[in-house]
A and B are shown apart, each in its own frame.
Chain A
């Protein structure tokens, strides 16, 4: 069944001088999929996306895009990709409309096509009222939405989104989720990074978790949860009741309390003495992420 992947990486690596940002990763993004690349700060997500865009040369391994090695990618292929970069690079001196017009010209879109698409795009990102305002007058969230609209100007098959919703309010995030799902329904392929695990869980068909340039785990959100944190989490305050101290249940010490991972809540609940204080909830992707990448802050 496997259609030719839109993106395929094998042993992909990138070093900046002595810094090894990506250390040999394998993955394949299939057409129509929403593929999420998750990882702590400095994991190598942006670097991977830049390699895919041809904005950074690969150091080792292979990387193909639309079936072609990235080094051979030309204008025709680049016109099929839309990028939402992590950093804002809108034209601050131009209006919303002008930003879109100028960008459309970089894709050599005819004037009539650009004129026709702009109202639809600003409507899609709910910026219609701001269309003739300067970018400097937009809030951070509006800028982010404009960057998304801009990435869509050439109707790309592949949309690469580097933290598209960072800094957005809940309303704007919900809007973007809805629009991304609509794009997916329309058959676009999405490659996404995010630090919001609920977002990844909601949008993605396939998730790859990386840390320090290496893949730690991959699978569907459901598979990852089932595999790494069972289905249920009990957070039990210390000191632990004796029955739990014997290591019978999979657990993780997080300081003041211990997390227990079980498939069926009953398994553990029936063991707990009545006076134990605990918190029970279904396991989610955030548990997987923290379990795999550790709880320490990434300073470098």
Chain B
């Protein structure tokens, strides 16, 4: 039997991650355009456009308000896309997972590799937005920004896990229309990216608390804006994101195990 030392076993997950990284390297420019330039364009459009109309929101100038939202958006979009459409094409079309599973790599490791990869890619775009936003003067607290990046990393894992759970249930590409319409878009629209969720009608505000994105923004905004963040609620947000990550991941693994091996 192989050694059970975790760092030795982790090399299998790392091998999967490295495969994705290598493929990405070969197409680096087009993916960079999508992942970094796209959210930055958003930032400019909303920052300049809305920023000209809205001077301050919740006591913050609009750039400071919208920058954390844009970072969260790029994490949401990149991780969700990679773990759904990206992973599904590897699974169902390129049969990349089949190739991996014919080796000592396990399904759990294939999925962990996918989740880590999607989160990694998401963080690249987050850092791109952060960099531009910081240069532009949207970051009030450097320490807060570091913590915000950690929160975004955790959230990226949650978004990736939900994407994988969706991939695990998808029968065709059409399935992802539901995923984007009923999951990704609401996370984007009703989570406080452009305006605080308490401006929403009450029932919708309550529903918005079911979205991981809402919790993410509640964490990230005070951090980058240098506002106080109460420890209790912050922990609740972190736990919420972690529960989604683990729950969705396990759901994906269970569904795929049945689907692929039965």
Contacts and interface: CB of A to CB of B under 8 A. Distances in A.
A185 interface: no
Contacts of B26: 93-94
Interface string A82-97: 0101011111111000
Contacts of A227: none
A215 B124 CA distance: 55
A196 interface: no
Interface string A70-91: 0000111011010101011111
B1 A76 contact: yes
Interface string B61-103: 0000000000000000000000000000000001110111111
Contact of A55 (B11, B23, B94, B102): B102
B156 to A, nearest CB: 23
Interface in B99-126: 99-106
Contacts of B96: 89, 91
A94 B262 CA distance: 31
Contacts of B99: 85, 89-91, 103
Contact of A106 (B23, B95, B104): B104
Contacts of B98: 55, 85, 87, 89
Interface residues of A, number: 30
A79 B102 CA distance: 9
Given A55-B102, A98-B22, A108 B15 contact: yes
A93 B26 CA distance: 8
B23 A94 contact: yes
B261 interface: yes
A105 B18 contact: yes
B15 A106 contact: yes
A107 interface: yes
B94 A74 contact: no
Given A55-B102, A106-B12, A75 B2 contact: yes
Contact of A91 (B11, B23, B261): B23
A154 B104 CA distance: 11
B260 interface: yes
A86 to B, nearest CB: 11
A55 B15 contact: no
A142 interface: no
Nearest to B101: A55
A89 B18 contact: no
A105 B102 CA distance: 13
Nearest to A82: B102
Contact of B105 (A56, A89, A91, A106): A106
B interface majority secondary structure: helix
A102 B23 CA distance: 10
Interface string B1-24: 110000000011001101100110
A106 B1 contact: no
Contact of A76 (B2, B27, B95): B2
Contacts of B15: 102, 105-106, 108
A137 to B, nearest CB: 13
Q: Report which residue of A55, A81, A90, A93 has the largest number of chain B beta carbons within 10 angstroms of its beta carbon.
A: A93
A81 B102 CA distance: 8
A102 B103 CA distance: 11
Contact of B104 (A75, A94, A98): A75
A106 B100 contact: yes
A87 B96 CA distance: 11
Interface in A174-228: none
A91 B1 CA distance: 29
B179 to A, nearest CB: 24
Contacts of B103: 78-79, 103, 106-107, 154
A22 to B, nearest CB: 14
B102 A53 contact: yes
Interface of B: 1-2, 11-12, 15-16, 18-19, 22-23, 26-27, 94-96, 98-106, 260-262
12 contacts: A53-B102, A55-B98, A74-B1, A75-B104, A87-B95, A87-B98, A89-B94, A92-B94, A94-B26, A103-B99, A103-B103, A154-B103
Interface of A: 16, 53-57, 74-76, 78-79, 81, 83, 85, 87-94, 98, 102-103, 105-108, 154
Given A55-B102, A56-B262, A85-B95, 6 more contacts: A57-B261, A75-B2, A88-B95, A89-B94, A90-B99, A94-B23
